[in-house]
Amino acid sequence: MEDAVNDNDPKEGFVFIIIGKAYAEGDNEGIDIHVMLRAPDDDTAVRDALNALSEEGFHEADLDQIGTIMGEPDEEPHASAYQGALEGEVAIIRFS
């Protein structure tokens, strides 16, 4: 049986936003983060976000929410992160 194809799904995936907290080695408080990236599904988005956080030196993350962005955000830093996600980047927004 072939997989069903939804013509409404973007061919290159959705732009996801993942909200959570990331922890560097020895950091007990962590920092609030938003991760924006393009992926075909939420499982791939979470996996790619965790890989990107690891590459940035975070050894642990608590991911609280995931959703899709339905239109380009108007305000920074999300507008730039959205553009980066469209270009295939994984954008990590850090909040102090």
pLDDT tens-digit readout, 13-49:
899 999 999 999 888 899 999 999 999 999 999 999 9
Burial of 42 (0-12, 13-18, 19+ CB in 10 A): middle
The CA-atom distances, in angstroms, between 52 and each of 56, 75, 84 are 6, 23, 14
The band of 10, judged by pLDDT with boundaries at 50, 70 and 90, is: low
> pTM to 2 decimals?
0.85
User: Three-state DSSP class for 94?
Assistant: strand
Which pLDDT band, with edges at 50, 70 and 90, does 7 fall under? very low
* Residue 39 counted as domain residue: yes
Domain assignment present for 1: no
Split into its structural domains, the chain has a count of: 1
- Asked whether residue 3 is domain-assigned, the answer is no
Q: Is residue 53 part of a domain?
A: yes
9 within some domain: no
User: Is 76 domain-assigned?
Assistant: yes
Q: Which residues constitute the domain of residue 79?
A: 14-22+32-95
Rg (CA), the chain: 14
In 10 A of CB 5, how many CB atoms?
7
Q: Does residue 27 lie in a domain region?
A: no
The reply to whether 4 falls in a domain is: no
